[in-house]
Amino acid sequence: MASSASNVPNHLAIIMDGNGRWARQRLLPRSAGHRKGTSTVRKIAYACSDRGVKVLTLYGFSTENWKRTGDEVGALMGLYERSVRKELGEFHRRGVQFRVIGRINEFPQRVRDILLEHVEATKSNSDLILNLALNYGGRAELVDGVRALASKVRAGEMDPDEISEEMIGRSLYTGDLPDPDLLIRTGGDMRFSNFLLWQIAYTELYVTKTLWPDFDEPALDEAFRTYGARERRFGAVGEKLR
Ligand code: IPE
Ligand code: IPE
Ligand code: MG
């Protein structure tokens, strides 16, 4: 059953966790979990587009994920490359604008090229904005933003006193996007793992034990229903408490 419009977040962010555990439960290599996870990405991205989500930000690889074995990192790189290449036609047909956030300059050239090619090819699409966070870290993003602002101050283009919350927000990779309304983490862990630290100040959090490869449309709708029943107060006294 599809969610009603008021249950649908404008900007949904997802920490896609649990691929390794999914594979281990089946005595498969971790890479098999990542492979299955990419088919969930496709399904959930299109489900979000169908439900009217405007921005979907997916955590694909953190700045800390380099700590994994070379084999696993290599398998992930290969998967991003192949799956993004495979999806381009469908992205276009559905009006998906594909973006990448993170320090992808540290990715292998081949992977970087294919990602940027797709960003360029879909930049005029205006349905769903699909933001893929790769080599992304919330702290790295703040460092990059602060560096950009500091350069402007040094160049005499700006006074330090002018720095505002809005300006910091705009200096981030997500600068032109609204903050996420809902953050879903699959796999059951109750933490943020360095994802969108600045942007989630007032984001609703939804953690499910379901592992990412098992996450499906009914699970998405359940998250949206829960989200729809929340009262977002943003620090004020809400309707139910007045
Ligand atoms: C998330 O699944 C995918 C990436 C971090 C790339 P994991 O690989 O972290 O899966 P678990 O947490 O070990 O189950
Ligand atoms: C977060 O998952 C990163 C991604 C989903 C890409 P991790 O599996 O890396 O997070 P931790 O290590 O459990 O905090
Ligand atoms: Mg994990």
The secondary structure of 8-57 as a DSSP string is S-SEEEEE---HHHHHHHTT--HHHHHHHHHHHHHHHHHHHHHHT-SEEE
Token reading at 14: 């997802």
- Strands (E) located in 111-226: 129-136, 182-185, 204-207
Residue 198 CB-density burial (10 A; 0-12 exposed, 13-18 middle, 19+ buried): middle
- In this structure, the number of other CB atoms found within 10 A of the CB of residue 197 comes to 14
Catalytic residue among 65, 127, 144, 194: 65
CB 198 within 8 A of CB 8: no
- Residue to mutate (ligand 2; options 14, 16, 17, 41; most atoms within 8 A of CB): 17
Main-chain dihedrals φ then ψ at residue 228, nearest 5 degrees: -65, -25
Instruction: Mark the residues whose beta carbon lies below 5 A from ion ligand 3.
Output: 17
From first to last of the 242 residues of the chain, give the pLDDT tens digit.
Answer: 454 568 999 999 999 999 999 999 999 999 999 999 999 999 999 999 999 999 999 999 999 999 999 999 999 999 999 999 999 899 899 999 999 999 999 999 999 999 999 999 999 999 999 999 999 999 999 999 999 999 999 999 999 999 999 999 999 999 999 999 999 999 999 999 999 999 999 999 999 999 999 999 999 999 999 999 999 999 999 887 88
What is the CA(227)–ligand 1 centre distance, in A? 24
Query: Could you state, in order of their start, the residue ranges of all structural domains in the chain?
Result: 8-137+179-230
Say what the pTM is.
Answer: 0.96
For the domain bounded by 8-137+179-230, which CATH number is listed?
3.40.1180.10
- Residue to mutate (ligand 2; options 62, 77, 132; most atoms within 8 A of CB): 62
